[in-house]
Amino acid sequence: MANVELNVITSGNIPWSVKREIENTFRDCYRRFGSNVPYKVEVHIVNRGTDMHALLKEEKLRRGITTSGDEEFICSHDAWRGYPRVICCLERLNALNKLARVGAVRHEAAHSALHGSLEYYIFRMPDDCQHTAAIKGLDSSVLDQALYFVSVAVKDFEATRFLVHHDFIGCQFAFALEWLQPSEQDKSAWKLAQANRQAKFIFLTALLKPILFAHPLLALPRSKKISLEHQVQLARKVEELLEYLGTAEQNRLLQVTSMIAEDSTDDTHRNVDSAMRQAMNLA
């Protein structure tokens, strides 16, 4: 294993045992990942969601970043400084069971290995998508936010696929089963969004993230020593996550995510371009 410079920074009243556990999880991942590891990683552990929101807001203002959504994640990752940075929210991690917490941290370790440089946070809208957007009357700001959600979804798919390849399977099922929870807030937001084409498009592209995150787990063959019960439970979670959309929108969204997964390669930028073309079918 390459020697990774791992810097763990805590903010607020973070127990030493928590810092040690998260650091050890990252180091264990990098040992298992082999040569595919970053040279340097910075991990911030904050107490509350509000702390994470403030940290991201300050960084985005400084760097002129206008996209949003990552403030609500359990953990977030970026490479705005040229190397991987992960922010872990203890309040949100503590809402998960123990194996799911480990799964969440391993998920971020996978991102740091796969998406650890600035090029994975800068994506250009394909020309044909811009043409389609103009025909459909989508504003440039809407298109930018949709591209952000699509890129996040693709990178989550790649992270889960990478972890499955390295036999981190049980923890990813545990994380997915805990994380994929429909909320009344989502249902209310959908009622408002579906009456407006642009809002509806953004809402549906945001849903690509949890579905594509789960896809490599649902696609696992029986030969992998996994519990069929876990796959059934996860499939049901995805159904519950989408059932308020109605049958037509559910089918359209699942068809788009299936096409994105089937067309996926090891080239993240190509995957995002391809996924964006598929996502335009949601507009």
Widest CA span in the chain: 55
HEC per residue, 14-43: CCHHHHHHHHHHHHHHHHHHCCCCCCEEEE
Give the predicted TM-score (pTM) of the model. 0.93
User: Which two three-digit tokens encode residue 82?
Assistant: 């040229």
- The residue whose two tokens read 């807030």 is 185
- Residues in the chain, overall count: 283
- Find the angle CA(235)-CA(249)-CA(196) to the nearest 5 degrees: 135
pLDDT at 240: 93
- Domains of the chain, CATH where assigned: 1-122 (3.40.30), 124-283 (no CATH)
Q: Measured between alpha carbons, how far is 27 from 235 in angstroms, rounded to an integer?
A: 31
Q: Measured between alpha carbons, how far is 215 from 226 in angstroms, rounded to an integer?
A: 15
Sheet holding 85-89, edge to edge: 5-11, 40-46, 85-89, 75-78
- Name beta bridge partners: 7: 42
Phi/psi at 44 (5° precision): -105, 130
Sequence-distant (6+) residues with CB within 8 A of 226 are: 169, 170, 173, 220
Per-residue pLDDT of the chain in tens (283 residues, 90 and over written 9): 468 899 999 988 899 999 999 999 999 999 999 888 999 999 999 998 888 888 888 777 887 776 666 657 889 999 988 999 999 999 999 999 999 999 999 999 999 999 999 999 999 999 999 999 999 999 999 999 999 999 999 999 999 999 999 999 999 999 999 999 888 889 999 999 999 999 999 999 999 999 999 999 999 987 665 677 889 999 999 999 999 999 999 999 999 999 999 999 999 999 999 999 999 999 9
CA distance to 53, 104, 189, 269, per residue, from 88 (Å)? 11, 9, 26, 26
SS3 content of the chain, % helix, strand, coil (to 5): 65, 10, 25
